[in-house]
């Protein structure tokens, strides 16, 4: 089980990223616009750098919904490898069976 503080930190990061998503998209559009003036681009870069670090969506970690484990989380199921294996063995995940050969 992951520490509660780490899970809470990732939840906070997700909220902050969602709050600043539109502003970041606007600034990035100005930065990537080839027809924009160099002064506009530079101002947009500075404004983007002044946003909180946690406003970037790459800052928060995908975690297992059950255990909070940050590594080896399957996107399709939202579970870590251990919890996914347990769920498959119980038959809770439709269409997934244990391999045997």
pLDDT band at 76 (very low <50, low <70, confident <90, very high): very high
Contacts of 14 (CB under 8 A, 6+ apart): 60
- Beta strand pairing call for 73-74 and 79-80: antiparallel
**Mean of pLDDT values over 15-35:** 94
CATH of the domain spanning 1-61? 1.10.287.1480
Q: How far apart are CA 61 and CA 99, in angstroms?
A: 29
**Domain residue spans of the chain:** 1-61, 62-94
End-to-end alpha-carbon separation of the chain, Å?
33
pTM over cut 0.95: no
Q: Which fold has domain 62-94?
A: 30s Ribosomal Protein S14; Chain N (4.10.830)
Q: How far apart are CA 31 and CA 48, in angstroms?
A: 10
Q: What is the pLDDT of residues 29-54, one digit of tens each?
A: 999 999 989 999 999 999 999 999 99
pLDDT at 2: 76
């Amino acid at each position: 089980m992951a520490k509660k503080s780490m899970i809470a930190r990732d939840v906070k990061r997700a909220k902050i990223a969602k709050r600043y998503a539109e502003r970041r998209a606007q600034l990035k559009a100005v930065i990537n616009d080839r027809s924009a003036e160099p002064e506009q681009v530079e101002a947009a870069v500075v404004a983007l750098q002044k946003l909180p670090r946690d406003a970037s969506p790459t800052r928060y970690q995908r975690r297992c919904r059950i255990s909070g484990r940050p590594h080896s989380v399957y996107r399709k199921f939202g579970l870590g490898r251990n919890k996914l294996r347990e769920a498959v063995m119980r038959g809770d995940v439709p269409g997934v069976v244990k391999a045997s050969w």
